[in-house]
A and B are shown apart, each in its own frame.
Chain A
């Protein structure tokens, strides 16, 4: 069903309201056009394209004509400046791919509060904790966050941004996460080149954008989201309630470097913390000084353990290599079965292609491989699907 009011407004705009000119441009009679506008007759599917073309509509306007809400993106970029246009275009394209694959998925549950107007940090953190049903002041962790978001139907999609054209340069000023919203449908995309502690911070940052209904956030809003993420991952009141945990890091005269190292190692097994994140939180909350020895010691620790901290890419996406089809096939046949929370977008792409809801060429475009290779990979998925369906039917017959 087309949005007739939108159609009429566009005819007014483009043809100064002259229905006869509009009808001529579409290639129908004046009467047929009047019948559409007066809803006396329905518009054939193939005419929608002609109408959109005659009215010079873009993708968003075409969606408005057919009654589909627009996709809104909100980026988290290291360096704060706005996202590169090409990255933005590719990101919209990727988000829309998932929104199109299943038009009824990713609908935010009613219990999830969003679009709140406040800049009060404690209120923001409290509302996000309420949304996620994370009690008290415990630090938000990767595992907990993914589980709670999944309960609210918010999917976090881990995507190799750079390999899929969503991150341009090797510069540190690049997009690391973004939220895509289409009406009440929501998806959070996180770059796999992030470590777990960075990812949990990114997701909490994005949760704040969602809660506050940001559309094109300014620097101030970005900073607020960072503060909110800090409050969720390194809650001030958690430190206040556990002074002994804090003392090792704050009092450099009493505790050796080894003790700090061991203590952090223990805490990081429980929480997804980084020494730098901890240092910044302790400094911002006033537990340690700006240029204190304690602060510098944590930053040194950050450098010391940097090499041993693995990114999501290194942990899970080793075989996601568009230049090595055997590895890529192994990734899609074995790896993605192991961690459904991490590989959800890949599982969705595979299923969509196997069930014919995503063209092989589109899959090729997304995975940056050749169309012919994608076609053969999809065929192998389809035949596996058919085999398992046959097995299921045989089983039913036996029963």
Chain B
């Protein structure tokens, strides 16, 4: 069922998830990651991301080879509950957003260089901008361009979501470390700065059991 953001967009806090974040959450600890209440807002998935994941089930898909059918189907099942109706902007407005974003891609600093993005990339940023939402993505280019459009703290990563879960005492250090290992085994490595954030969060919360009874 498709969720609708509440009428007062500014008070509805959403976290729009990219496909790479969805799959990492599915591998990591789906029972917690897909159900908990994040301090950043409610998880939301756009149909373009779902359709992207659906294409991973194509017989010759590289993602199918890597993750296998059950995991991808799990990911689709989890995000079907999060599918959100973002009230698509009119074609002209969408085009206007896209053209401005294309122009902005040139304004990245020399160290970032220019970072060309695709139409889906731009759509995700557009929804984040329009709905005053956060965007959770591992894609460096999206993160850089996103910071040109919305406040830096609204550009999130999978690791930010894990840190939130740790802070809420929903996982133990052992669980976190075990699941990070699973991610690594599946070829889903954490971002360096994200790994550091998780380490710091784990340091603050002490072993052995973090979950509040």
Could you list which residues of chain A lie within 8 angstroms of chain B, going by C-beta atoms?
A: 45-46, 48-49, 52-53, 56-63, 65-66, 68, 96-97, 99-104, 325, 356-362, 364-365, 370-373, 375-377, 379
Contacts and interface: CB of A to CB of B under 8 A. Distances in A.
19 contacts: A48-B148, A49-B104, A57-B100, A59-B102, A60-B103, A61-B103, A63-B106, A68-B103, A357-B141, A359-B115, A359-B116, A359-B139, A360-B139, A361-B139, A362-B116, A365-B118, A370-B58, A372-B61, A372-B63
Given A49-B129, A66-B104, A376 B114 contact: no
Q: Which 5 A-B pairs have the closest CB atoms?
A: A62-B103, A100-B114, A376-B62, A361-B118, A359-B141
Given A46-B147, A359-B142, A66 B20 contact: no
Interface in B120-164: 120-121, 129, 139-142, 147-151
A100 B103 contact: no
B193 interface: no
A66 B103 contact: yes
Interface in B58-103: 58, 60-63, 65-66, 96-97, 99-103
Contacts of A375: 20, 62-63
A356 B140 contact: yes
Contact of A104 (B55, B106, B110): B110
B26 interface: no
A375 B147 CA distance: 22
Contacts of B55: 370-372
A362 B141 contact: yes
B187 interface: yes
B56 A45 contact: no
Nearest to A63: B103
Given A58-B99, A356-B140, A100 B115 contact: yes
Contacts of A45: 107, 147-148
Contacts of B101: 49
Contacts of A370: 52, 55, 58, 61
Contact of A52 (B62, B100, B108): B100
A57 B103 contact: yes
A242 B150 CA distance: 68
Nearest to A57: B100
B116 A376 contact: no
B209 interface: no
Given A325-B60, A372-B52, A46 B141 contact: no
Contacts of A361: 117-118, 120-121, 139
B96 A56 contact: yes
Interface of B: 19-20, 52-53, 55-56, 58, 60-63, 65-66, 96-97, 99-108, 110, 112-121, 129, 139-142, 147-151, 187
A103 B148 contact: no
A99 B148 CA distance: 19
Nearest to A52: B100
Given A57-B103, A361-B139, 13 more contacts: A53-B97, A53-B100, A57-B99, A58-B100, A100-B113, A100-B116, A103-B114, A104-B110, A362-B116, A371-B52, A372-B52, A376-B62, A376-B65
Contacts of B116: 96-97, 100-101, 358-359, 362
Contacts of A372: 19, 52-53, 55-56, 61-63
A103 B63 contact: no
Contact of B151 (A46, A68, A356): A46
Interface centre among B62, B101, B147 (most CB of A within 10 A): B62
Contacts of A325: 60, 62
B104 A62 contact: yes
Contacts of B117: 359, 361-362
Nearest to B23: A372
A193 B97 CA distance: 35
B152 to A, nearest CB: 8
Given A97-B116, A358-B116, A376-B62, A49 B149 contact: yes
A65 B96 CA distance: 15
Contact of A373 (B62, B142, B147, B149): B62
Nearest to B62: A376
Contacts of B129: 49
Contact of B99 (A46, A62, A65, A362): A62
A96 B104 CA distance: 12
A375 B49 CA distance: 14
A62 B63 CA distance: 37
A277 to B, nearest CB: 37
Task: Select the residue from A65, A101, A376 with max chain B CB neighbours within 10 A.
Answer: A376
A357 B115 contact: yes
A334 B61 CA distance: 21
Nearest to A64: B103
Contacts of A100: 105-106, 113-116
A45 B104 CA distance: 10
Nearest to B141: A359
Contacts of B62: 325, 372-373, 375-377
Contacts of B99: 57-59, 62
A59 B103 contact: yes
Contact of A53 (B61, B96, B108): B96
Nearest to A100: B114
Which residue, of B62, B103, B118, B139, has the highest number of chain A Cβ atoms within 10 A? B103
Contacts of A61: 103
B72 to A, nearest CB: 9
Given A356-B141, A372-B52, A373-B63, A48 B107 contact: yes
A66 B106 contact: yes
Nearest to B49: A371
